[in-house]
């Protein structure tokens, strides 16, 4: 089971039980390429990884390394070349490429794994 929490972390940051620091949604509105306004949030809750891609995947918001999708809105844990010290994603849980490789190589979060996102920063 993966656990993502940001207790005593800067706003927008989560700590994944086995993968270190991550960057999550900015909690700001943005213009989606499909023409609507969306909120860049990583919603609290309990979900399951229900599909994954072993390699690069491109979607309308950018490229994702080895994404593991866990939320019905298309939110995933995925690797990226940049994991800044500020909230930066459209809602996904962004980790470094080496961290995502570690997750895959050690089968830490296979399909069906429970993912908890909790603990909004004040």
- Residue 2 has a pLDDT of 43
Between CA 70 and CA 13 the distance in angstroms is 18
- 60 has a pLDDT exceeding 80: yes
Strand partners, 69: 51, 76
Contacting residues for 104 by C-beta, under 8 A, at least 6 apart? 54, 66
- % of the chain residues with pLDDT over 90: 39
- Superfamily (CATH) of domain 2-115: L,D-transpeptidase catalytic domain-like (2.40.440.10)
- 13 has a pLDDT exceeding 70: no
Q: Which of 11-15, 20-24, 54-58, 90-94 has the lowest mean pLDDT?
A: 11-15
Provide the residue ranges of all domains of the chain, joining segments of one domain with +.
2-115
């Amino acid at each position: 089971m993966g656990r993502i929490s940001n207790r005593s972390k800067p706003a927008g940051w989560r700590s994944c039980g086995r993968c270190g620091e991550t960057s999550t949604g900015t909690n700001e509105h943005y213009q989606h390429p499909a023409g609507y306004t969306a909120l860049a949030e990583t919603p609290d809750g309990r979900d399951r990884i229900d599909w994954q891609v072993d390699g690069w995947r491109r979607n309308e918001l950018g490229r994702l390394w080895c994404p593991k999708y866990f939320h019905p809105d298309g939110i995933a844990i995925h690797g990226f070349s940049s994991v800044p010290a500020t909230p930066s994603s459209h809602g996904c849980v962004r980790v470094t490429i080496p961290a995502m490789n570690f997750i895959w190589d050690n089968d830490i979060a296979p399909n069906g794994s429970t993912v908890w996102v909790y603990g909004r920063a004040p």
